[in-house]
Structure 1
């Protein structure tokens, strides 16, 4: 029983570092996000990455990493309704 507790504690201690590595692999993780404001002109040629909010509920932040018409990479953040289960 004590061995199981030690193993569980060890695995739990590794979780934050594994999560941090996943964030670093997200495209555009080193680019600061610009908060979108109504009426702001955005030159999007190609979307490279978008936050997946398919399982979130309510108003949630979205980050979009995109390439503009000049080939430069940008990140923009805005709010949207999550698409998760609405009968919660």
Structure 2
């Protein structure tokens, strides 16, 4: 009887932890800046680069993202195209 109570307690506790983890993930997603697509007429105001994603291992243009801070302290995510790293010279 005692073991079944412990098992029920652990099962309910793990469900509560999963629900809490899902809630914190959605909060992070709402704080993330929207993705802006780069064009040749885009005016850039980059004070500090925070992060950049790596190019995919494909041959051809692939999207990468740069997260940066502008001169007003706002965070932006800029998506642009680069040549993938999967092309061989042979």
Q: Give the 5 Å matches for 1:9-88.
A: 30-53=32-55, 55-87=57-89
Structure 1 gap ranges (5+): 1-23
- Aligned counterparts of 2:56 and 2:38: Cα–Cα separation in 1: 21
Size of the alignment, in residue pairs?
Answer: 62
Structure 2 gap ranges (5+): 1-24
- What per-residue deviation string (whole Å, max 9, x for no partner) do you get for residues 31-51 of structure 1? 221111112111001110111
- Aligned counterparts of 1:75 and 1:39: Cα–Cα separation in 2: 17
| Structure-2 change in CA distance of 1:50 and 1:56 (3 Å) | farther
* Greater mean alpha carbon deviation, residues 33-42 or residues 76-85: 76-85
Contact 2:56/2:62, CA 8 A, preserved across alignment:
no
Q: Which runs of 4+ in 1 moved over 6 A?
A: none
Q: Give the RMSD, CA atoms, in angstroms.
A: 2.6
- What per-residue deviation string (whole Å, max 9, x for no partner) do you get for residues 48-78 of structure 1? 0111117443100011100001111001111
Contact 1:60/1:80, CA 8 A, preserved across alignment:
yes
- Indicate the structure (1 or 2) with the bigger Cα radius of gyration: 2
Structure-2-length-normalised TM-score: 0.56
